[in-house]
Amino acid sequence: MGNRSRGFTPVIRAILALVALLAAGPSRTADASAKVLGSLVQIEVQANPLDLVSPWQGTGVETGYGSGVILDGRRILTAAHVVADAVGIEVKREGTTKQYTASVQWIAHECDLAVLTVEDRSFFEGSSSLAIGDTPRLEDAVKVYGFPIGGDSVSVTSGIVSRVEISHYSHSWRQLLLVQIDAAINRGNSGGPVVSADGRLAGIAFQLIESAENVGYMIPAEVVNHFLRDIEDNGRYDGFPTLGVAGQAVTNDGLRKAYGLGSEQAGFLVTGINHGGSVHGVVQPEDVILAVDGTAVTEDLTMPHERLGRVQLEYLVQMKQVGEEMELTLLREGEAITRTVRLNNEPALVPGTYHESRGSYFIVGGLVFQPLTLDFLLNVPSSDDEDWFPGNLEYYALYKDRRTPRRNQVIVLSKVLSAAVNRGYGEWTNRIVDSVQGEVPRDMEHLVGIVEGSKEPLLKIVADSGDVLVLDLARAREEGEGILERHGVPADRSRDLL
């Protein structure tokens, strides 16, 4: 059969083509929208958050809500903070009323993502799975789907991408790639899909600025893909690698001359190295990093990205998987050298929130010891002066945040459970422990070893302020069980220290 439009003029053919496009457009849009709706999940969570000041107990069960999206393989993707500390999770699909019990299969607090599973396969009958697309560019149009608090029906808001950068994830306080959008994101939207114009998943809605109007953030597709590849490659979550260095951009002319940078060179001066980090034993203090995997360091420590514009240089590190290698070009004593490092995710001296050390504690004679984490710092009671944190905790968290051969954790004497054996020490709260029996406690496990291995009659603890606490160790051991019972503490230590 011949082409009936072959004899039409170019103008008529163009009009016919436009009519055909307009006719197909609404149908395609409807199909894409139906696919997204068929993948939407409403999540109800019963959670019992940890009491960070008394880590042997929770703060009480509370109900929260969030959203999720079905991916291939019968997986529900959502935000980690939606299901954090969950003791029960119920899910239902958009447009349905039946609730199903779900469980957390994978959770990555670092990038605020989690994968849920539902054992009852009937939950997925008639559903669709959403394909993951690309991280959207600046000014790209997006739609946010979810179930904000205040109703059971789905909410859809539209907006554009207004910023792409590496910045803080409020759940973990880790700095990773995120995307700012002007589509409204409300409580309950968290974990829901942000969809590009092509109908694919551009990211996951996860935080907002409450003091600003229509300023929301999403976890971009690149971070989602990194998380999914991570949990698939070796059956565990390894996280996002870091170089484990501290330093400064070399921009001042005097500083450039001092370290031998040429007129066309820029660099990053290494001023500190995290013990056990990726570059430990390879890079030295006062090395200048000139390039990362062949990408030259710029004065503002950014790099060009073919889709996203300019992003921070650490993007190159974060998009690799733990265990992969990276090549660094260094300037050492005026000579350019190349070194290869294997990337790891060794935590800082003071790790972020929801770290594996969260909830760790040890009690002797009513003295409660905990590792310092950002989670603890953000929840510790402070004085009336909001800029002051007891025990110099903020200084360690923000300015002295590097592991050393002597210290893998900062140990805090967080509180004193009142007892006769510790009379006079009631004000010893939130003190950083400098030494125990003359030794610097490397970490919580080492602290327990020092105390339990001591043959001395007295336990001597020195705070970083220089204050000294001395306890009758034999008496503390004898009265320990009674102290715990009176204060309702189930054990003298957390499970990780058993």
Distances (CA, A) of 31 to 28, 127, 132, 147, 407: 5, 13, 17, 21, 57
> For residue 181, which of 195, 200, 198, 169 has the smallest C-alpha distance?
195
Given the residues 39, 54, 67, 81, the one annotated as active site: 81
Backbone angles phi, psi at 449, to 5 degrees: -65, -40
Strands 100-108 and 411-416, sheet pairing: unpaired
Output the six-digit token pair for 20. Answer: 């055909």
Distance CA 187, CA 45 (A): 14
Given the residues 39, 67, 155, 190, the one annotated as active site: 190
Backbone angles phi, psi at 222, to 5 degrees: -65, -40
Strands 362-364 and 335-342, sheet pairing: unpaired
Given the residues 39, 109, 112, 375, the one annotated as active site: 112
Residues in the chain, total:
498
Distance CA 418, CA 426 (A): 7
Active site residue 211: no
Distance CA 331, CA 79 (A): 41
Active site residue 190: yes
Active site residue 300: no
Residues carrying an active site annotation:
81, 112, 190
